[in-house]
Amino acid sequence: MSKRRYALLFDLLVASLVIVGVMGTVWLYSEQPFPGPPPLVVIETGSMVHDDSPFGRIGTIDPGDIVIARSIHGRGDVITRGGNHSGARFLGYKRYGDYGDVIIYKPLGRDDEVPIIHRAICWVEYDEENGTYTVEEYGIYNATSITIPELNLYNVRFSHSGFITKGDHNLYCDQDPLLKGNICPEPVKLEWIVGKAEGELPWFGSLKLFFEHLVDPYAHPLEVPNDSWICLSISIAFLIGIPLLLDIRDYLRERKGLGSQEGITDKMARNKIFREKILGNIVLVYWIILLPLLALYLRFTFLLIIPITILLANIHLSSLVAEDGKRWGIDGYKRWALFTLLTGPVALSIYYFKIKTL
């Protein structure tokens, strides 16, 4: 088998491992049952749109975004937006452009309905024995009906306990009687909830919505904002363009009889000084890039693209360490590659100082 075919098979193997690794990480993070439906939700409508979102709309939930549906185990796992008495407003807890958690639920628990992704506003506690309601977030205790002017609810009665939910862009909450049950006429029970939104991969779900729209434009209207299309196009061009340009460069070199350009690992295998310099630069650059990324992720934990980027970087560095260790005969180089995959720049830094002492 030719060297080019080996390279192609290696690229396919790496791509497969990346996909499996990313999906496995997402599944573990979501705590959703496996096997089962993928814990990823593509946003189809603009009910959570914020009109003041910056270009690219990172940080809010918009059509074309992909979010993780992280499993919840009880009422305490969901922080409601709240009102004048309690809730996320008092805690300063913001998610996706407003206070409180966003949940994904099946309307009335029906599997044949498209899940809704809206913000949890408050919890209605229904005392069935006495026929009374308590909504702590709005200072309502043991009332015979619920009146919350802010949510356009006046003297309403529900048949059970659950969350009142609302799309950030919608005028009315999902349980408003004026909607005549078009979204969800009753509070959302815990068992209806698929999960709460955790993590965001912006724009890339637009491709799924585009093809669904081509098949049935009436059932699947396309509501993806224009700036999301622009950002998606730039991202795809970047992901495809770099490997394509590298292939074109190698092809032109071969046409001119220059042969394929020597790779960085080949150079590192021949020259100890060059090897130490390159590895030292890689360690420095990785730390410089990683620390701001981690700070950004701690501030905006819904940016799923950050841990995915770090995972991909670790995979690439792991393969570099494996190749370098093999060519220079480093004891336990496979373990070093595994440690680099798991800990990134930590293992890479230790590996760098190890080879300097050899």
CATH 2.10.109.10 domain range(s) in the chain: 34-224
Query: What pLDDT is attached to residue 16?
Result: 66
Q: What is the DSSP string of 278-308?
A: HHHHHHHHHHHHHHHHHHHHHH-TTBTHHHH
Domain 34-224: CATH class, spelled out: mainly beta
Stretch 314-326: mean pLDDT: 85
Rounded CA-CA distance 48/59 in Å is 11
Closest CA to 346 of 118, 354, 100: 354
Confidence of residue 175 (pLDDT cuts 50, 70, 90): very high
- Looking at residue 19, what is its pLDDT? 66
Listed in sequence order, the residues at least 6 apart from 114 whose beta carbon sits closer than 8 Å to its beta carbon are 44
The more confident residue out of 38 and 71 is: 71
Residues 178-189 pLDDT 10s = 988 889 999 999
Cα torsion angle, 147, 148, 154, 160, sign: negative
Residues 30-44 pLDDT 10s: 777 777 777 888 999
Average pLDDT, the chain: 84
Where is pLDDT greater, at 5 or 256?
256
Give per-residue pLDDT as tens, 266-276. Answer: 667 677 788 88
Q: Percentages helix, strand, coil for the chain, rounded to the nearest 5? A: 50, 15, 35
